[in-house]
């Protein structure tokens, strides 16, 4: 179990249960009952040099901070309403700097219906951005805990691309630091593929529409957003549901851009997908009847979905590759360990 | 105008107005209309070495982070319901460290009816704590903008004590660093006064009950919590209301502990009150009829209130001392300037 998950378990033990809190720390977002129906709420803290590259463009950073939180609501099937934004920064960066972060966050969240209502500023040695976002589940909230043996496992989009994009962004930053401007920067990668991978890291698209559709139409038994790699997040969903997830190597949705990047860097695209992190795609499970309906409805979603595995009795998350099964639940990002 | 206020003005200009957001950035908390009545929401970011002393005890830090946010809701007359907590910290501090912060925040917020529902953790070079808290106005929300000429100005508690407590805490920390344990540590200060001042800084009492009573019973025209000194916050209330606030030197509520501390340190207690910050008392205005009712009801509140001045036509915040008037609106803390 990851340090972050151990913390959540320890935190749960501190909290009184029941009452109007339906779901406390440990799912993608929290759910509370207010007078008329549930409210979903989430927060993420982004620290420079840990959660984003030093010197990141502030507007892009604001967009990303919003997107990370929007993705948590997407995984609950909730539609975002309002957000709060706090920024800690070195005032030597000037008064325009936090405004640029705010502009990015306002634009990104605004595209999904969420409005900035307040925030806070503080001096800080490095930039930190904290967003708290809330909204309303479109239908029954999607929890991590609803998967049952016999369900199918689905994945949206093309996980692994963000991890490839991060590596490209680091290379681009290194080029910039050296003052060199290679044209094209990556001869083995089509410009379109480069743009696609950079965008997957820098400006991920939260899957609000997909999550809301799954919730509204009752098309999933459980869901999580893939923030720390498909392996770790499959492990979390399995643990919350008390089941075993088996993903099939041959069913995973590798994009041509990711395959090209893997070839160029001599990196296995499978490892980027399983361990990469920062994708903000949805991993979800569906009963046989839901899975059938999902496959009929697939072309109506704004992102491709792929059936990648199945839910069994037991525990853990595994990758089936031919005859061999590999434990993938402990792969990938840990927000408390990645800086070590 | 302070840098923080200029930021809020610039931020407001970025936002669409109207719709379901009744009050965006710039008041103590935000107000949004959801299906059944308003929701008040606030957030604060605390950075080590800027907003709290390096090496602060984590449980005490958690209490303070909760209290700062509770105070924002108090100033709106709102009763807290739920909060989110994010912590950035150096993992070398160990797994118990963020749990201790969470314990402190849970205890402090729990005493006022607010429950932790979620949060986030990240690695960070120094500790940062972000809380987002929301609740429900007890009656008509108290805004900064409602003061009118002819109103009286009131202040709760004993502002200036927190600034004195901060100075004592710094001295206590310095004693600790030197390995010395003077007994008594401050011979010129009664132990009771020392404890009182340290507690005012370390563990401020958010004025939730007072704020809720003012809102529920319609006893105030405007309110703000005193986080950056009475001078700066009187200036903010005056600006939001488009009025002039005049406080009277002789009516200000100096506590015996603050007077003793001032004598010991050769510091003017008036300056601590006007410029000190971190008090989390309420500064509010009341019409003549409300003021009369307030003075009748005063003994029922859990904190003393003092009538300290009046609202006039014009702008700015001033201190009347005998015949001389002094501009006090630009005194005190600025969260963007204090570390410079």
Flag whether pLDDT at B41 surpasses 80: yes
pLDDT of residue B340: 28
CB contacts of A25 in chain B (<8 Å) are: 116-119
- Cβ distance A116 to B37 less than 8 Å, yes or no, reads no
In chain B, which among 241-300 make CB contacts under 8 A with chain A? none
B164 with B272: CB under 8 angstroms? yes
Q: Which of A2, A118, A126, A136 to mutate to test the interface with B (most CBs of B within 10 A)?
A: A118
CATH superfamily of A152-327: PurM-like C-terminal domain (3.90.650.10)
Q: Which of B25, B36, B86 sits opposite A45 (nearest CB)?
A: B86
A114 with A70: CB under 8 angstroms? yes
Cα–Cα distance measured from residue A18 to residue A76, given in angstroms and rounded to the nearest whole number: 19
- Pick from B25, B126, B235: nearest CA to A99: B25
3-state SS of B89-101 is ECHHHCCHHHHHH
pLDDT in tens, A69-98: 999 999 999 999 999 999 999 989 998 999
CB contacts of B31 in chain A (<8 Å) are: 117
pLDDT in tens, A241-251: 999 999 999 99
Domain A3-137 has CATH 3.30.2350.10: no
> The pTM is what?
0.88
pLDDT of residue B6: 75
Residue A269, both tokens: 């695209």
Distances (CA, A) of A237 to A68, A288, B120: 18, 18, 18
Q: How crowded is residue A75: how many other Cβ atoms within 10 Å of its Cβ?
A: 36
Mean pLDDT score of chain B: 89
pLDDT of residue A340: 29
B174 with B180: CB under 8 angstroms? no
Instruction: Decide: helix, strand or coil at residue B111.
Output: coil
* Average pLDDT of the residues in A39-46: 92
Instruction: Decide: helix, strand or coil at residue B324.
Output: strand
pLDDT in tens, B205-228: 999 999 999 999 999 999 999 999
**What are the residue boundaries of the structural domains of chain B, listed by start?**
3-137, 152-327
Flag whether pLDDT at B147 surpasses 80: yes
In chain A, which among 134-163 make CB contacts under 8 A with chain B? 134
Q: Which of A21, A37, A339 sits opposite B123 (nearest CB)?
A: A339
CB contacts of A334 in chain B (<8 Å) are: none
- Cβ distance A45 to B335 less than 8 Å, yes or no, reads no
Flag whether pLDDT at B335 surpasses 90: no
* Residue in B with minimal Cα distance to A51: B122
Residue B42, both tokens: 């606030």
Kindly state the percentage of chain B with pLDDT values over 90.
Answer: 71
B224 with B237: CB under 8 angstroms? yes
A100 reaches B (C-beta below 8 A): no
ipTM of the complex: 0.85
Sign of the Cα torsion A31, A33, A36, A37 reads positive
Flag whether pLDDT at A338 surpasses 50: no
Burial class, B181, CB count within 10 angstroms (exposed 0-12 / middle 13-18 / buried 19+): exposed
In chain B, which among 51-90 make CB contacts under 8 A with chain A? 51, 81-82, 84-88
CA count, 13 A, side-chain hemisphere, A321: 8
- Pick from B301, B306, B293: nearest CA to B218: B293
Flag whether pLDDT at B233 surpasses 50: yes
Cα–Cα distance measured from residue A235 to residue A316, given in angstroms and rounded to the nearest whole number: 6
Q: Give residue B22's pLDDT band: very low, low, confident or very high (50, 70, 90).
A: low
Q: Give residue A42's pLDDT band: very low, low, confident or very high (50, 70, 90).
A: very high
Flag whether pLDDT at B334 surpasses 60: no
């Amino acid at each position: 179990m990851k340090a972050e998950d151990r913390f959540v378990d320890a935190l749960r033990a501190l909290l009184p249960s029941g009452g109007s809190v339906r779901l406390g720390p440990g799912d993608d977002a929290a759910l509370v009952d207010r007078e008329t129906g549930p409210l979903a709420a989430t927060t993420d803290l982004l620290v420079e040099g840990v959660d984003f590259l030093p010197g990141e463009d502030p507007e892009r950073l604001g967009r990303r901070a919003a997107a990370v939180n929007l993705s948590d609501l997407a995984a609950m099937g909730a539609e975002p309403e309002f957000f709060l934004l706090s920024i800690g920064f070195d005032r030597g960066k000037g008064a325009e700097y936090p405004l640029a972060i705010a502009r990015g966050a306002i634009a990104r969240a605004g595209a999904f219906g969420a409005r900035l209502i307040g925030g806070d500023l503080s001096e800080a040695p490095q930039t930190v951005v904290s967003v708290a976002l809330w909204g309303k589940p479109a239908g029954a909230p999607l929890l991590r805990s609803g998967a049952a043996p016999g369900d199918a496992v689905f994945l949206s989009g093309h996980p692994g691309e963000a991890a490839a994009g991060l590596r490209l962004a680091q290379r681009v930053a290194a080029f910039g630091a050296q003052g060199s401007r290679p044209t094209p920067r990556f001869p083995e990668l089509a410009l379109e593929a480069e743009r696609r991978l950079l965008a997957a890291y820098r400006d991920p698209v939260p899957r609000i529409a997909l999550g809301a559709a799954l919730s509204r139409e009752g098309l999933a038994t459980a869901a999580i957003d893939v923030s720390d790699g498909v392996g770790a997040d499959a492990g979390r969903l399995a643990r919350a549901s008390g089941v075993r997830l088996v993903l099939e190597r041959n069913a995973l949705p590798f994009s041509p851009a990711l395959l090209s990047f893997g070839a160029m860097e001599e990196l296995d695209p499978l490892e980027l997908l399983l361990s990469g992190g920062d994708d903000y795609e949805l991993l979800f499970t569906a009963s046989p009847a839901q899975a059938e309906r999902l496959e009929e409805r697939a072309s109506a979603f704004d992102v491709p979905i792929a059936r990648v595995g199945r839910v069994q009795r037991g525990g853990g998350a595994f990758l089936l590759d031919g005859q061999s099964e590999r434990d993938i639940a402990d792969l990938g990002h840990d927000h408390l360990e990645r800086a070590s």
